[in-house]
Amino acid sequence: MRAETLAIHAGNLYEPHTKDVTAPINLSTTFLRDADGGYSGGHMYSRMSNPNRAALEKTMAELEKGADACAFSSGNTAGMSVFQALKPGSHILAPDDMYWGFKRQLQSIFADTIEIDFIDLTNPDLIGGHIRKNTVMIWVETPSNPLLKITDIAAIAQIARSKGLILACDSTFASPCLQNPIALGANIVMHSSTKYIGGHSDVLGGVLVTAEKDELWEKIRNIQQVGGAVPSPFDCFLLSRSIKTLAYRMRGHCENGMALALYLEKHPVVEAVFYPGLPTHPGHETARQQMTGFGGMLSILIKGGADEARRVVNKMKLFAQATSLGGVESLIEHRASIEGPDTKTPQNLIRISAGLEHIDDLIADFEQALS
């Protein structure tokens, strides 16, 4: 079945007694045990598993064409669970513009246990020179945050396979509807479901999907169940509800993202537009091959510096000045000041999350702010 259909039906585990058409919210933390000690209902204790999380995980595994999925209480814990599953002393390769929250985790929480090289993974030829005896994983993020760089997942998967390395992909900006890294050879896909999957800026969550239920996945499942950074049944219900419209929301985000990129590219106050849908973007060809749409995220450089960029952001009326992305409402932010003093993000960069408002209203807002 296609994504639109899976999104609506994959997780609908019909309740056998009350016969609900949509899944109810099961708040119970504990489940009845049979006379023989078994759990014929399939659940024992809700940190280990519960009906709402099981439904969300099943939907995500099917949408990402994987063998299994683990849902977490945030995107950060989803990623952290992968790093925790690696043997201490492991070396990994990650993108030089890796999502700053993960960079911070690796440099603080894992500073003594994981060795890391941040390199430009948009050039797969650089990988060979950085592989060490203890290298175990390549982590990619595409499109990347906030520069919208595109990494060739299939090309890196081939290198990873030939060197016996795990390939993990942060696919948050694409959502499962625009890109399926497992189908391109990745072992693990990571999403912050806080973003497009939730889509309404009202639930925090993260998901991992695996290509195979292998030894690494056993470790990750154990970290989820025993570590306990799990989403509540209500969070899982909200995410499952949101996923039903994901494919249609993504079409709107892509349409508005593209239209904004084309408008901003021509504006005299704008120095550069980073959007993989533009033919001038260096990753455009790769994006066309591995994505079915270019998404709703774009960044622009304003002529001038931080002050000019902040002035534009402050003048926006419809776009809310806030961090995060992927919701129905359009957001805008001066990125460098969110990331802190050691950021490499250009000071004149503005990150935009195109929402689902009418495009004419979004362009009119930029027209007045850039004037």
Piece of 49-57, 114-122, 166-174, 334-342 that binds ligand PLP (CB under 6 A): 166-174
Q: At what angle do helices 306-315 and 359-370 cross, to 10 degrees?
A: 130
170 has catalytic annotation:
yes
* 294 sits near ligand PLP (criterion: CB under 6 A): no
Distance between CA atoms of 264 and 306, rounded to whole angstroms? 18
| Residue whose beta carbon is closest to ligand PLP | 75
Catalytic residue among 97, 170, 235, 365: 170
Q: C-beta of 75: minimal distance to ligand PLP in Å?
A: 2
CA 190 to chain centre: 6
Q: At what angle do helices 233-243 and 51-63 cross, to 10 degrees?
A: 30
List, in sequence order, every residue forming a beta bridge with 114; answer none if it has no partner. Answer: 90
Q: C-beta of 211: minimal distance to ligand PLP in Å?
A: 20
* 295 sits near ligand PLP (criterion: CB under 6 A): no
Piece of 37-45, 83-91, 187-195, 256-264 that binds ligand PLP (CB under 6 A): 187-195
CA 149 to chain centre: 14
* 204 sits near ligand PLP (criterion: CB under 6 A): yes
Report the residue from 53, 58, 195, 335 that binds ligand PLP according to the rule CB under 6 A: 195
> Residue 24: what are its φ and ψ, rounded to 5°?
-75, 165
Catalytic residue among 99, 149, 235, 275: 99
User: Among candidates 222, 207, 269, 181, which has minimal Cα distance to 70?
Assistant: 207
* 274 sits near ligand PLP (criterion: CB under 6 A): no
* 142 sits near ligand PLP (criterion: CB under 6 A): no
* 276 sits near ligand PLP (criterion: CB under 6 A): no
Distance between CA atoms of 222 and 81, rounded to whole angstroms? 10
Report the residue from 135, 180, 194, 242 that binds ligand PLP according to the rule CB under 6 A: 194
Distance between CA atoms of 12 and 237, rounded to whole angstroms? 11
Distance between CA atoms of 53 and 236, rounded to whole angstroms? 5
Residues sharing a CB contact under 8 Å with residue 156, sequence separation 6 or more, in sequence order: 121, 124, 127, 138, 140, 167
* 74 sits near ligand PLP (criterion: CB under 6 A): yes
91, two tokens: 């070396």
**CB-neighbour burial class of residue 142 (10 A; exposed 0-12, middle 13-18, buried 19+):** buried
Q: Which is nearer to ligand PLP, 150 or 370 (CB)?
A: 150
* Pairing verdict, β 349-353 and 206-210: unpaired
* 172 sits near ligand PLP (criterion: CB under 6 A): yes
Report the residue from 101, 227, 252, 304 that binds ligand PLP according to the rule CB under 6 A: 101
Q: Which is nearer to ligand PLP, 106 or 369 (CB)?
A: 106
361 has catalytic annotation:
no
* 99 sits near ligand PLP (criterion: CB under 6 A): yes
14 has catalytic annotation:
no
Helices (H), the chain: 3-9, 51-63, 75-85, 100-108, 153-163, 175-178, 215-222, 233-243, 246-265, 284-290, 306-315, 336-339, 359-370
Catalytic residue among 53, 103, 149, 195: 195
* 192 sits near ligand PLP (criterion: CB under 6 A): yes
Q: C-beta of 67: minimal distance to ligand PLP in Å?
A: 22
* 76 sits near ligand PLP (criterion: CB under 6 A): yes
Interacting residue ranges for ligand PLP, rule: CB under 6 A: 74-76, 99, 101, 141, 145, 170, 172-173, 192, 194-195, 204, 206
| Active-site residue set | 47, 99, 170, 195
